[in-house]
Amino acid sequence: MTLSFAIPRIQNPADFGRVAVLMGGTSAEREVSLDSGRNVLDALRARGVDAHAVDGIPALIEALIAKRFDRVFNILHGGDGENGVLQGLLQSLGVPYTGPGVLASALTLDKIRTKQVWMSAGLPTARFVRVPPGGDLAAAARELGLPVFVKPSTEGSSVGVFRILSEDDLKPAMAFAATYDGELLAEQMLTGGEFTVGVLGDVALPSVRIVAASGWYDYHAKYIAEDTQYLCPGLEGEDEAQIRALALAGFRAAGCSGWSRVDVMRHADGRFMLMEINTAPGMTSHSLVPKAARQLGVDFETLCWLILETSLPDANVSEARAR
């Protein structure tokens, strides 16, 4: 893979202006977002960027009205940080930001609608059944045939995800469904391996294969456990080329831009299946996009700089201002 994408387009941190690193917020992923945000903030400051932490959208609105920031590095996981609300706000105010735009953000936070778009584009995804609020979760799981996963359509970080291996496992999932007011989906469980592929601009980074010691990559395995294995690149040869090409196709079909992380599972028969897209991926010590970037010799500080560069419409900012 060419490393030309990893060469910063600009050299002067002042070209970014004053940067708000948006983190925290009120979603179920608040703590992870704060962790990611602190790491991004430290990395940008280490490179000389005039970056400042902002916790949540109300605080950002106040700061933008006061014209305290020139652009936003969005690391607000879940909720209004990834569902198009923030992107619409920033777009209407003419404030540049990292990550995909309004439509792609709104689409990809919704796993069901993202799958429907992929299917319409002829891209492979795991079989699923939509479960509306108050719907019959047990019937949906049985329609697919166990084992299945049950998950909310619009949450991340494994929030509300249940692994259903037997009829007994349906009970806690059904209890959760009774208190959850959003859509759920029952999804075919694939057993050929779990992978993720970061995308930065037009480049698919090396795949990462995830091997959880418990056999399930849940919240604990993602953010707490120290025995989860991350193999990068996750594949070799034609398989690696194929998974990167599929991830990039899924990213583009969903209308994404800037950067994201595309999750892929492998069927027992060897086929790769698109699962979901995260448009504000984690940037914690356990996160996967930084691991993939390191495989190409791109350190964390450089990665954050490159992501921030995606918010610039003109690579030659200093000369443009000089004119």
Range among 9-13, 95-99, 226-230 rated most confident: 95-99
15 is catalytic: no
136 is catalytic: no
Q: What percent of the chain has pLDDT over 70?
A: 90
pLDDT band at 223 (very low <50, low <70, confident <90, very high): low
194 is catalytic: no
Strands (E), 174-322: 184-188, 194-200, 203-204, 208-211, 229-231, 259-266, 272-278
Domains delineated in the chain: 4-98+315-322 (3.40.50.20), 108-124+190-295 (3.30.470.20), 128-188 (3.30.1490.20)
Digit-coded pLDDT (tens) for 51-78: 999 999 999 999 999 999 999 999 999 8
Where do we find the tokens 């991830």?
247
pLDDT of residue 110: 94
Mean pLDDT of the chain: 90
Which of 27, 37, 84, 223 is an active site residue? 223
pLDDT of residue 313: 83
pLDDT of residue 72: 98
157 is catalytic: yes
pTM, entire model: 0.89
113 is catalytic: no
Mean pLDDT of 78-98: 96
Mean pLDDT of 133-143: 93
| Phi, psi for 109 (deg, rounded to 5) | -70, -20
316 is catalytic: no
Strands (E), the chain: 18-23, 50-55, 71-74, 128-131, 148-152, 162-164, 184-188, 194-200, 203-204, 208-211, 229-231, 259-266, 272-278
142 is catalytic: no
pLDDT band at 281 (very low <50, low <70, confident <90, very high): very high
Which of 24, 27, 29, 250 is an active site residue? 29
pLDDT band at 28 (very low <50, low <70, confident <90, very high): confident
Digit-coded pLDDT (tens) for 172-211: 999 999 999 999 999 999 999 999 999 999 999 999 999 9
Using the predicted structure, report yes or no on whether residue 215 has a pLDDT greater than 70: no
Tell me the longest C-alpha to C-alpha distance in the chain. 69
User: In this structure, are residues 75 and 304 in contact, taking their beta carbons and an 8 Å threshold?
Assistant: no
pLDDT of residue 157: 54
pLDDT of residue 323: 25
Which of 282, 287, 309, 311 is an active site residue? 282
263 is catalytic: yes
